[in-house]
A and B are shown apart, each in its own frame.
Chain A
């Protein structure tokens, strides 16, 4: 993959400026149709999901009081994992997007909601809603592209450190909530620039540490203590539930923007971008997960990532209803509506992580037969004089 502007077969070359503006208007109309019919059924939906989550969490934690008994451990861990996934995905993520602000219920509002997650809602809303959703898939602007630690595009220069990218990505997936917290803090950038003494950064770092402290105390001290003799099994169950939730949410998010075929964009290309062009970027920069209603619920309807990116503040329960209309517009304008089942999208995303951890072209040029010589080449690309390394990299990519 490479930024759309540098592609020989630019997938939007056939669209005129008028096409794009018309497309924008048609999408506006779809959005309006949902706004016009938002009502009591939608309110009932989110309240039901919240109700189910709270009861499931309470029930699972109650079962885990007896976590020394293996069936209770298994049941409680599954229940708590599902509860945490629901809480982060369908409830937290979407409420923090302001999808339910229209209900004017102060208990279910983007400005009052806090979620079961290391990153405080306030900071996540900034990095996610304002940066990622505005600059979706713009290299250098959208930090979600690799979270500042990964090589996710051929245009990013390869260095040997990227060889560890698959391992690093997997660790990030397991402890995703902490990765997100660090990323919301822009920890890497702040450290690199030596700005750790900045009072604003300190204030935000303190908020994150406080939040992590409360989260850790709850899952790894209070609930294990409440379990009495079952302290260790409950602690293990909570740890597993957090890791399951982290792996799941990481997978869903990888599926949204990382699968092969999802487009990225140049920084310059969004100067003076119109609403229609913004829509097109969202359309081509996102990918859907096809699947059942349960899949949509458990992904927080990020299985409708395309619809979500077009209309981030529409209630998530309505994405399924507008998806066929959105798909029809893709077809009408000759654009690729990127949708595939979860395993396929996850595989595609991880394949890309592996491919880009290696020099451009290396994986494609490698067969079982030439593996030893390719490995030797990789060794020489990673070591030795700079000039030779550059020549080798260029030859491999050619």
Chain B
């Protein structure tokens, strides 16, 4: 997920090259540690360090949502509105990685960005971020990424369909829509009650100012909206590009409806969690060939999670089967894709690449790592 930084000017790579040479020299004096191990003691956000951020503030949005203000390290690259960032934070001493949509305007004067987090029941990281995080905490970051963005040429008409914390990437987009762009925006947002609408006040202001048409669906009292009712609310739906973010059943219903209407190419969706269908395979012994670690994994736990619980350092990315940051070669054995139930097998010596975040053991398997 981390890509090489394109150079904004010709002096920076030269400086970076010089820095690398100085660091290599300094390593003669610091071995077996690296010069950066010492520099991290004083400036963990410096240029050239592993990308990190410092939490500057946590602002309450609703009873179970909060906006976290993060000052990123100096190598942070500006995001595209609608993108998400992966954040690694230590919860109860254990580093956990999660992806959150960026909600702030680009180019904030203080150099920070924000993510808005909704605490989900039993959500280890979300509850920690919303309720227990202290300003000053250092977190690990990846560069912002994601395809849930507006095209270069902003469409004349746009529809956003969101539910719960699905509003966050859309808020990131809306806040960055230039005042002079006359896009006709409709936002249909579902939340249990009016008070649960994240950014409720700000959205209603935007609607009052005529910037967007806002349809709030309060599901505790009004029930859920289905795709057909959305179409009824937005008669010119076929003329609009649509971005949808929310729970999986909602997204699937929309995809079905748009597909049936023959406008599937105008719908962009953002998933927060993998769609797990296969739940109760039999599992098996997972062996990591390089580290020699073996562990028993059940048939419903992603190998990534099982391995991390066993203390194996695993490459990881979005944790929902999208980014391929967690891919490792399956040397032997069988794994089941938790989204489709499909079983992938490898004969001894093969190196079938599998996504560990959405694959569970389907019998004994050996993975190169």
Taking a contact as CB atoms under 8 Å apart, the answer to whether B37 and A39 are in contact is: no
Contacts of B31 in A (CB 8 A): 214-215, 217-218
Taking a contact as CB atoms under 8 Å apart, the answer to whether A109 and B28 are in contact is: no
User: In angstroms, how far is the closest chain A Cβ from the Cβ of B1?
Assistant: 15
- The residues in A between 39 and 59 inclusive whose CB is less than 8 angstroms from any CB of B are 39-44, 51, 54-55, 58
Taking a contact as CB atoms under 8 Å apart, the answer to whether B32 and A38 are in contact is: no
> Do A222 and B93 form a contact, CB below 8 Å, given A101-B311, A104-B308?
no
Among A55, A102, A103, which residue has its beta carbon within 8 angstroms of that of B41?
A55
- The residues in A between 57 and 93 inclusive whose CB is less than 8 angstroms from any CB of B are 58
- Whether, in the assembled complex, B313 has its beta carbon less than 8 Å from a beta carbon of chain A, the answer is yes
**Measured CA separation A69–B65 after assembly (Å):** 60
- Whether, in the assembled complex, B56 has its beta carbon less than 8 Å from a beta carbon of chain A, the answer is no
- Whether, in the assembled complex, B179 has its beta carbon less than 8 Å from a beta carbon of chain A, the answer is no
Taking a contact as CB atoms under 8 Å apart, the answer to whether A43 and B311 are in contact is: no
Q: For residue A223, which residue of chain B has the nearest CB?
A: B29
User: In angstroms, how far is the closest chain B Cβ from the Cβ of A242?
Assistant: 14
Among A43, A106, A114, which residue has its beta carbon within 8 angstroms of that of B90?
A43
What would 10 more interface pairs be, CB under 8 Å, given A43-B94, A223-B29?
Answer: A41-B93, A102-B94, A102-B311, A103-B95, A104-B308, A104-B313, A111-B291, A211-B32, A218-B29, A218-B30
Q: Give per-residue flags for B228-255: 1 if the beta carbon is below 8 A from chain A beta carbons, else 0.
A: 0000000000000000000000000000
Q: For residue A43, which residue of chain B has the nearest CB?
A: B93
- Whether, in the assembled complex, B23 has its beta carbon less than 8 Å from a beta carbon of chain A, the answer is no
Contacts of A107 in B (CB 8 A): 37
Contacts of B313 in A (CB 8 A): 101, 104, 106, 109, 111-112
Among A42, A106, A116, A217, which residue has its beta carbon within 8 angstroms of that of B93?
A42
User: In angstroms, how far is the closest chain B Cβ from the Cβ of A99?
Assistant: 10
**Measured CA separation A107–B31 after assembly (Å):** 15
User: In angstroms, how far is the closest chain A Cβ from the Cβ of B15?
Assistant: 24
**Measured CA separation A252–B29 after assembly (Å):** 28
Q: Chain B interface (Cβ within 8 Å of chain A)?
A: 28-33, 37-38, 41, 90, 92-96, 291, 308, 311-313
User: In angstroms, how far is the closest chain B Cβ from the Cβ of A225?
Assistant: 9
Contacts of B41 in A (CB 8 A): 51, 54-55
**Measured CA separation A111–B308 after assembly (Å):** 13
**Measured CA separation A43–B90 after assembly (Å):** 9
**Could you name 16 residue pairs across A and B whose Cβ atoms are closer than 8 Å?**
A42-B93, A43-B90, A54-B33, A102-B93, A102-B94, A102-B311, A103-B90, A104-B308, A105-B90, A107-B37, A111-B291, A214-B31, A215-B32, A218-B30, A218-B31, A226-B29
**Measured CA separation A101–B93 after assembly (Å):** 11
**Measured CA separation A115–B312 after assembly (Å):** 20
- Whether, in the assembled complex, A98 has its beta carbon less than 8 Å from a beta carbon of chain B, the answer is yes
Contacts of A214 in B (CB 8 A): 28, 31-32
Taking a contact as CB atoms under 8 Å apart, the answer to whether A54 and B37 are in contact is: yes
A-B interface contact total, Cβ < 8 Å: 64
**Measured CA separation A115–B31 after assembly (Å):** 9
Tally of chain A residues near chain B (CB < 8 A): 33
Q: Give per-residue flags for A116-151: 1 if the beta carbon is below 8 A from chain B beta carbons, else 0.
A: 100000000000000000000000000000000000
Contacts of A43 in B (CB 8 A): 90, 93-94
Q: Is the interface of B mostly helix, strand, loop or mixed?
A: mixed
**Measured CA separation A104–B29 after assembly (Å):** 28
Q: For residue A213, which residue of chain B has the nearest CB?
A: B31
Contacts of A38 in B (CB 8 A): 93
Rank and list the top 5 A-B pairs by shortest CB-CB distance, nearest first: A43-B93, A101-B311, A114-B32, A104-B95, A39-B92
**Measured CA separation A222–B28 after assembly (Å):** 7
**Measured CA separation A221–B95 after assembly (Å):** 39
Taking a contact as CB atoms under 8 Å apart, the answer to whether B92 and A40 are in contact is: yes
Among B33, B95, B312, which residue has its beta carbon within 8 angstroms of that of A105?
B95
**Measured CA separation A381–B30 after assembly (Å):** 52
Contacts of A40 in B (CB 8 A): 90, 92-93
Contacts of A109 in B (CB 8 A): 313
User: In angstroms, how far is the closest chain A Cβ from the Cβ of B128?
Assistant: 10
Taking a contact as CB atoms under 8 Å apart, the answer to whether B93 and A58 are in contact is: no
Q: For residue A226, which residue of chain B has the nearest CB?
A: B29
Contacts of A104 in B (CB 8 A): 94-96, 308, 311, 313
**Measured CA separation A105–B312 after assembly (Å):** 10
**Measured CA separation A202–B244 after assembly (Å):** 59
Contacts of A58 in B (CB 8 A): 38
**Measured CA separation A54–B28 after assembly (Å):** 16
User: In angstroms, how far is the closest chain B Cβ from the Cβ of A12?
Assistant: 31
Contacts of A44 in B (CB 8 A): 93
Contacts of A211 in B (CB 8 A): 32
User: In angstroms, how far is the closest chain A Cβ from the Cβ of B306?
Assistant: 13
User: In angstroms, how far is the closest chain A Cβ from the Cβ of B48?
Assistant: 16
**Measured CA separation A40–B38 after assembly (Å):** 23
Taking a contact as CB atoms under 8 Å apart, the answer to whether A222 and B29 are in contact is: yes
User: In angstroms, how far is the closest chain A Cβ from the Cβ of B170?
Assistant: 32
Q: For residue B316, which residue of chain A has the nearest CB?
A: A104
Residue among A42, A105, A214 facing the most chain B CB atoms (10 A cut-off)? A105
> Do A116 and B37 form a contact, CB below 8 Å, given A104-B94, A109-B313, A111-B313?
no
- The residues in A between 10 and 57 inclusive whose CB is less than 8 angstroms from any CB of B are 38-44, 51, 54-55
User: In angstroms, how far is the closest chain A Cβ from the Cβ of B35?
Assistant: 11
Q: For residue B311, which residue of chain A has the nearest CB?
A: A101
**Measured CA separation A223–B312 after assembly (Å):** 36
**Measured CA separation A223–B93 after assembly (Å):** 36
User: In angstroms, how far is the closest chain A Cβ from the Cβ of B368?
Assistant: 14
Q: Give per-residue flags for A219-261: 1 if the beta carbon is below 8 A from chain B beta carbons, else 0.
A: 0001100100000000000000000000000000000000000
Taking a contact as CB atoms under 8 Å apart, the answer to whether A103 and B94 are in contact is: yes
User: In angstroms, how far is the closest chain A Cβ from the Cβ of B307?
Assistant: 10
Contacts of B312 in A (CB 8 A): 101
Q: For residue A61, which residue of chain B has the nearest CB?
A: B29
User: In angstroms, how far is the closest chain A Cβ from the Cβ of B316?
Assistant: 10
Q: For residue A215, which residue of chain B has the nearest CB?
A: B31
Q: For residue A51, which residue of chain B has the nearest CB?
A: B41
Contacts of A103 in B (CB 8 A): 90, 93-95
> Do A217 and B311 form a contact, CB below 8 Å, given A58-B38, A102-B94?
no
